[in-house]
Every structure is written in C-alpha cells, then in structure tokens.
Amino acid sequence: MNVMRRLKSIASGRTSISSDPGGDSGTKRAKFDQETDQRDNEETNRIVRRATGLEQHMASTSLETAASTSDISSTARREKSSHDQLPKEMHEMRIRDEKANNRDEKDVEAAVVNGNGTETGQIIATTIAGQNGQPKQTISYMAERVVGTGSFGVVFQAKCLETGEAVAIKKVLQDKRYKNRELQIMRVLDHPNVVQLKHCFFSTTDKDELYLNLVLEYISETVYRVSKHYIRMNQHMPIIYVQLYAYQICRALNYMHHVVGVCHRDIKPQNLLVNPHTHQLKICDFGSAKMLVPGEPNISYICSRYYRAPELIFGATEYTTAIDMWSVGCVLAELLLGQPLFPGESGVDQLVEIIKILGTPTREEIKCMNPNYNEFKFPQIKAHPWHKIFHKRMPPEAVDLVSRLLQYSPNLRCTAELNMLPVSMVKRLLQLPLEACAHLFFDDLRDPNARLPNGQALPPLFDFTAQGTANGFLDERLPDKPCCPALIAQFALPFVFINDGRSKGEQILGPGWLFIKDMDVLVGLSGGWNGTA
C-alpha cells in the first residue's frame, strides 16, 4: 500500500492508531529484532570468513604519531583537561585538512601473530609513539570475541596483554585515497559521555587492502540491550534510568553540536553504550558523523530508519544538528514505551508512522524541512494527543519533553537564537541540548540525595567546566549576555536576565526559567556578572 492510500485510510478512520505495545508496533519491533539478529549473525560470519587467512602481515602507521602534528590533534591535546570546552579556533578548523595530516606521518611496525586479529586467541602487536618525549612502545592485544558487525566492518573485544585492560577494536576497510572522517572526528572529541579513542593503527592484507583499527574503551552494555532486558521481563524501564540516559545523551550532544560542531547522524539505542554498574552513558559509532557546514549539501539517506528525522525522509540535503535531537526524542519515547514510536518498515512507511502521531505537516512545516519539496498533496490527518500515546502513569514531564523534541520544524527542535524572544516562543526552543538538560523531567537528577535503585551514587552529571560551559555554549547561543558560571556548573543551565515588563529591575532565572509565566522578553545587561553564586 503506497503512502497516499495509507494516509487516506487513516484519515477516513479505517486504520486505527494504537499505542498498545502488543499491537502492530510490537509486531514490527519483534520482526525488526529478529531480522536484525539474523543480519548480524550473517554479517559476522561473512566478515570473519573474509578476514580469515588474509592478514598475514600488518604494515602499521601509528596514528598517535601521524596525526598528532595535525592542527586538530594539537588543539585537542592542549585542551585535553576540559570536558566541555574547546578553544574558539576549533570552531573554525576543518576536520578535513589532509595536508596537515600528511605533513609528518611516520611509519612504525606492527605485526599479527598466527592470524588476522579478529579470531579468538589471535594476537595483534602494534608500536605507538611515546608521550612527552618517551620512547616508542609495543602494545599487544589478544582478540576475544566479535561484539558487532555492519557494512563498516567488524568490532571485536580484545585484552591488552601488558595491562590486562579490556578494549574494543573497530576494524574498517580504508580507502587509501581519503582520510577517515570517523578517526579525525574522534581525535577531537573529549567528553565523559563520548566513547574514548585510545589509539589507532593501520593494517594491510595479502590483497593489499588497508584497514583502519580504532582502539576504543570497552563498555559491555548498550541502551538497546538494557531496553530489551526489560521488554523480555514484561516490565517498563525504571524512570530513573530513562532520566539518566536521556540526560547524558543531551549533555553529550550539546558538547558535540555547540562546542565541536559535529553532528552524529545515527543516534539510536544500539549506539549508546552503558556501564551496567554506574549507568554512565557514552555515545559511540561516529562512522556517520560529520561537521556540517552551512550551504554545503549532505546526503539525506543517513540515520537508522526508526530514528530518522522527517526532513531526511523529505530528501533535505542542507539539514542541521536538529536531526540528532529528533533521534533523541525517538529514543526517549522508545524507553518510555518499551517499543519504537515510529516503527516504519521502509522510508515511506516511516513517514506514515510519523504522520499518524504528529498529524499532516503544514505547508510551512514542509518548507522548513525541505524548501525544495513541492509536493503538498497529503490527506489531512489530525495529530494524535500525546497523553493517549503513553500510559496514564507516565510522568507528564516525560511526555512534555518528547513532544518538544519531536517537532516537524527543525528550527523549533534546536536551531534558534534566544535573543529578545518572547518566552512563549522560548518555551518551544527546549530542543537545544543543554536546555533539554534543564527540563523538569530531569529535576530528580538534581536532587542531592538522588541515588540509583541499588543505593549507589549517580554517575557524574554536573561536572561541567565553568569556562567550557560559558564559552562553549553561551558564546554561541547568548553572546554578550551575563552569566554566573558557578550556577551553570551546578544546574547545567545558562542563567540569564529577563525583564517581565512590570518591574524596573532584571531577575535571574533558575532551572525552571522556561516555565515562568508572564515573562515577555529576554534581555541582556551591558555589564558583566557582578553577583555571587
């Protein structure tokens, strides 16, 4: 059934919209899970078979040495002590600076003993440059098991023989004509909610194929597997875990979007690593990530289907980091429901699932998503009330945050200036990642007495650097506005001055500032911060 026929069927009332986890969406999710598991097994077998016997020798280039002289790497290293900041010049740098990367590459040796490194028990030995003038050192890894596969290649768990540390090694086929974008982006990223790149090396095969090996910190669980665990138990994920995971995603994306300028483009539960003991979350898999440049086109066929923003479905090529925030809304809704919110079986079906809940997009909304899209002949379908999508006991703050993230217009999701805007409009701009962190849904996390269900402390959530938060966020979103770094560090929220139109002086707004009624305009003061925390 094509999209128009399906939408007409929905508009006429012949097709119902159900939020029952056991209904049509649940069937689609079960089918998707089964197909995903089957594809993963087939892909694992195919890649392992292909790799077996091919890799007798590895001629490795240590990228700790090769890329350390690039502009990006040296800048990132100078600011390594900061979690949430990079210097201003980082915003102006282009990750794709091949000349800088090529200037000082030096070859070092690596070897594989008795195999290609992906088979259990096989050993990879590589040489990396020493730090602070120290001599080069050899590090050996023993492959333990394959933990992930895809069109990119294979990820396997390994153990460092020198230290006993567990790592994940992502092995991808590298086109010799180009630099690897994922590597260059990962060398810049340094944040507690982003998976850490330890080092990397190249390897070759008998067929003269070049592979890039990214050595990453190993984290055993994903949000996807945690969610499936509760589904199998016929339970909803505890709300404290939903709050923790969603908050940490938003915090990481604030850093990526507004400090580094990188769009992930594939946010989904499978790409969200979770420490099962501390519940610290880290975003991984930057194979689709890109530094978006205004005016430069990008591919629209990006992001996994259930989490794909509508502007991508409409074929937009000049999109923004707002596509990540749509994905966050989809992930949040899935954790709350126990199933995907938009379980489309194809691109067309995906659009139908979105329209069933959000209603038919207006002409203006379609123009915001893709100005070049000229087809507006959609049946008129009313939006489905959000409170009917979720069960009655769902916290209203959770439903509110989902509704604010899942907006057709990308501008209402995350790209808008806060200068001199009516508060009624500001309320709709909560999709900015750092502002999303300040949503009432996360108030429980700000309670000093908050604990995990087992009584342990929460993972670090508010260890912002004052300088990093102020410069990395406020300089971009609220230029020249006074702020109090200590308060920002405490609440993860930019404090601003407002004028309510009735009093002579300005007021400082706290964590609930977007919900204060009758505030008309955000204003700034000419001077800096003169108060105390």
pLDDT score recorded for residue 272: 98
* pLDDT tens readout for residues 286-319: 999 999 998 999 999 999 999 999 999 999 999 9
* 171 is annotated as contributing to ligand binding: yes
pLDDT score recorded for residue 453: 93
- What is the band of 497 on the pLDDT scale with cuts at 50, 70, 90? very low
pTM given for the model: 0.70
- What is the band of 78 on the pLDDT scale with cuts at 50, 70, 90? very low
CB-CB neighbours of 37 under 10 Å:
10
Residue 424 CB partners (closer than 8 Å, separation 6+): none
317 touches 295 (CB < 8 A): no
120 touches 500 (CB < 8 A): no
69-73, 117-121, 335-339, 421-425 — which one is most confidently predicted on average? 335-339
175-184, 268-277, 435-444 — which one is most confidently predicted on average? 268-277
pLDDT score recorded for residue 409: 92
Check whether 84 has a pLDDT greater than 60: no
- Alpha carbon of 455 to those of 294, 450, 501: distances in Å? 47, 9, 46
- The region of weakest confidence among 50-59, 210-219, 421-430 is 50-59
Is-same-fold flag (3-36+221-418; 52-217)?
no
Nearest CA to 105 among 60, 55, 139, 171? Answer: 60
465 touches 83 (CB < 8 A): yes
Higher pLDDT, 491 or 406: 406
Check whether 205 has a pLDDT greater than 70: yes
pLDDT score recorded for residue 149: 86
- The region of weakest confidence among 282-291, 418-427, 439-448 is 418-427
Per the residue annotation, which of 266, 447, 463, 475 is the catalytic one? 266
- What is the band of 75 on the pLDDT scale with cuts at 50, 70, 90? very low
* pLDDT tens readout for residues 454-468: 999 999 998 765 433
Check whether 368 has a pLDDT greater than 70: yes
pLDDT score recorded for residue 413: 79
Tokens for 272? 């969200």
- The single-letter code of the amino acid at 220 is S
pLDDT score recorded for residue 465: 56
Check whether 248 has a pLDDT greater than 50: yes
Per-residue HEC secondary structure of 124-178 comes to: EEEEECCCCCCCCEEEEEEEEEEEEEECCEEEEEEEECCCCCEEEEEEEECCCCC
Percentage of the chain with pLDDT > 90?
Answer: 46
pLDDT score recorded for residue 179: 85
* pLDDT tens readout for residues 474-496: 333 333 333 333 233 333 333 33
pLDDT score recorded for residue 471: 38
80 touches 187 (CB < 8 A): no
For 3-36+221-418, CATH number?
1.10.510.10
> φ, ψ for residue 328 (rounded to 5)?
-60, -45
Instruction: Indicate the domain borders of the chain.
Output: 3-36+221-418, 52-217, 440-522
What does the pLDDT average to over 129-143? 82
Active site residue 266: yes
- What is the band of 160 on the pLDDT scale with cuts at 50, 70, 90? very high
3-12, 285-294, 495-504 — which one is most confidently predicted on average? 285-294
pLDDT score recorded for residue 322: 93
pLDDT score recorded for residue 321: 92
- What is the band of 34 on the pLDDT scale with cuts at 50, 70, 90? low
Check whether 92 has a pLDDT greater than 50: no
CB-CB neighbours of 276 under 10 Å:
11
pLDDT score recorded for residue 151: 76
Q: How far apart are CA 54 and CA 126, in angstroms?
A: 18
What does the pLDDT average to over 91-98? 36
Class of domain 52-217: alpha beta
Higher pLDDT, 3 or 184: 184
pLDDT score recorded for residue 125: 86
Question: What's the mean pLDDT when you consider all of the chain?
Answer: 72
What does the pLDDT average to over 402-407? 93
